[in-house]
Amino acid sequence: MSQTQVHRLGDLQLQILKVLWQRGEASVAEVHEQLPGGADLAHTTIATMLRKMEARGLVTHRANGRTFIYRAAVAEDQVSQGMAEHVLDRLFEGRLADMVSHLLTAREVSRAELTRLEQLIAERKRQS
């Protein structure tokens, strides 16, 4: 397996990180407000999740009076790369072509996306 650290994230944790990556930093209330489906979650649920995420090194906070302001402690590309490599290694035993083939047959892929994939492959071939 690659040396990239894999952050195993639940859906809510990933949604919280997406809010923090987009905003830079946010209070519990601001995160709660920005979450898709946030109205279905208690404010305390978000606060608890942020504390747990901080214990795991995923977020940090600073105090602004009595309010904690949270910031992501992991970069978006670090998380996405780690999660993608984990899927590649675990489900496809490191066979990238098998993973791409699966994605191309399991999902609708637009002509524009196929063109972009062709460009990425051509670019990578030039670098090799």
* Element housing 1 (H / E): none
Q: What's the confidence (pLDDT) of residue 7?
A: 67
pLDDT < 70 positions in the chain: 1-7
| d(C-alpha 53, C-alpha 50), whole Å | 5
pTM of the complete model = 0.76
Q: What is the mean pLDDT of the chain?
A: 90
Residues 1-94, CATH architecture: Orthogonal Bundle (1.10)
Residues across the chain: 128
The reported pLDDT for the residue numbered 56 is 92
Q: What residue spans in the chain does CATH classification 1.10.10.10 cover?
A: 1-94
| Res 86: pLDDT | 87
Look at residue 82 in the predicted model and tell me its pLDDT.
85
- Report d(CA 128, CA 125) in Å as an integer: 5
